[in-house]
Amino acid sequence: MTVTTEPRRLRPDLPAPCGRLSGSVVGALRRDALPDEVFVPAQEGAESADPYGRDLQLALYVLYELHYQGFRDVDEEWEWEPRLLHLRRTLERRFLDALRADAAPEADAEQTLAGLLVEPAGFDATGVSHHLRRDGELWQFREYAALRSLYHLKEADPHAWVIPRLHGRAKAAMVAIEYDEFGAGRTEDIHAGLFAELMEDLGLETAYGHYLDAAPAQALATVNLMSLFGLHRSLRGALVGHFAAVEITSSPGSRRLAEALRRLGAGKAAQRFYDEHVEADAVHEQIVRREVVGGLLSAEPDLDADVAFGVTATGFLEDRLAERLLSRWRQGRSALRLPLPPGRNQ
């Protein structure tokens, strides 16, 4: 299956704001010029805002997106507008301070990563992938895919920011893994494209950023974390920790999700995305631990705590998202802010 429209060909529309912070950011980006008074409400509210709330997370997501695809009818020059960057930094500090308090690692990087290698066992194991494999319904998997599309349609892009900040073993290994993520030279194998084909198979819209308005704060935070770590050289260790956490947990989780899709009768294109990750990420996991993390800490041992923090922050935010999804689904309710319409292929 090939998607009918390249997901990244068109820029998405700006999302609907949900509070003072996101309203100020979205309102500013709709202007041809940015007077200083546009930023006053946001700067005043940023330091007291809920760091995990949707208003702050949406504002941060929109500001980060200026460094990726941008938005329709938004001047590309706003990417480096100093006042927008200043506001972004205020929001980032609020978010990062909360994470450092709530997700502080209790061990060094090696021990923290070792904890990810222990998989929960048994039929009663909890987690989104366990639920979907065991007794999830198709509408739940469609919601899961819609939320994950905010990252997977730009898969590997946030992690690519770290490449210029690495050297030696860590850089060589990181580039090798990213090469696979970007299709190993084959357009048809780019992982973002494979996820678009999964969405097409599930009757979802494949346009980049299409489900932003439907995404709860917990989903936005998981994507923002990657951009936060990736766009700051000082957080390169945390981004490597995040990357390691993703790669180590990806293979077993992808196996369960592939099994869920087979049980639900999804097509081969939907299954291919997760089947690909079962094999590829089992190999990547070894390279990440030994060469990316090992190489980085061999060259810069003082980044050990940052790597561990990247792992624990990732787990903390993923757990919050899982709680949102599972609590709603077990009540028979949508986990999205805007429930999905029936699929195009259904």
pLDDT in tens, 18-49: 999 999 899 889 887 666 666 666 777 888 89
Distance of CA 70 to the CA centre of its chain: 17
Cα-Cα-Cα-Cα torsion 234, 236, 239, 243, nearest 10 degrees, comes to -170
Residue by residue, DSSP assigns 147-182 as HHHHHHTTTTHHHHTTGGG--HHHHHHHHHHHHHHT
**In the prediction, which pLDDT does 224 show?**
98
Sign of CA dihedral 72, 75, 77, 83: negative
Confidence of residue 279 (pLDDT cuts 50, 70, 90): confident
Residue 341 phi/psi, 5-degree rounding, is -75, 170
Instruction: Judge whether 150 and 211 are in contact, CB under 8 Å.
Output: yes
Q: Could you give all domains of the chain from N- to C-terminal order, each with its CATH number?
A: 20-101 (no CATH), 107-330 (1.20.910.10)
pTM: 0.94
Q: How much is the average pLDDT of 215-219?
A: 98
| Total Cβ atoms within 10 A of residue 316 | 17
Extract the tokens encoding 331.
């009540």
**In the prediction, which pLDDT does 122 show?**
47
- Rounded Cα distance between 123 and 264, Å, is 18
